Amino acid sequence: MGQVIPFDELEALGARLRAEGKRVVFTNGHFDLLHVGHARYLQAARALGDVLVVGVNDDASTRRRKGPGRPIVPAEERAELLAALACVDYATIFPGDTAEEAVHRLRPDIYVKG
């Protein structure tokens, strides 16, 4: 089982994983109402490296991007659910509508976007 890490620890995580020689894969999304397509996508992303880190859009971003009544599942629960998947090593909740800052902090070897 993976773990949920605070967004402000992403830079240190990336540095540690690089020092360990790990190939880091990063992807992101809203993941509101997780479905089998998400699971397949995450498994394929994980197969590209040693560690999969998943960024979860925060609730404000999900509301702006998905519309009224969203998210259905709060960001904290979406991150926890993702971290419980065998293919996910770490999940983090990021602010804003893009993952640009998360990518900048983590500095993954591979960025996967479906």
- pTM over 0.85, yes/no: yes
Proportion of the chain above pLDDT 90, given as a percent: 97
Check whether 76 has a pLDDT greater than 90. yes
What domains can be seen in the chain, in order of their start residue? 3-112 (3.40.50.620)
pLDDT digits (tens, 9 = 90+) for 33-52: 999 999 999 999 999 999 99
Paired strand residues for 4: 91
Q: Which of 1, 2, 3, 4 is nearest to 76 (CA)?
A: 4
DSSP state string for 19-44: HTT--EEEEEE--SS--HHHHHHHHH
pLDDT level of residue 114 (50, 70, 90 thresholds): confident
Side chain identity at 29, as an amino acid letter? G
Check whether 69 has a pLDDT greater than 90. yes
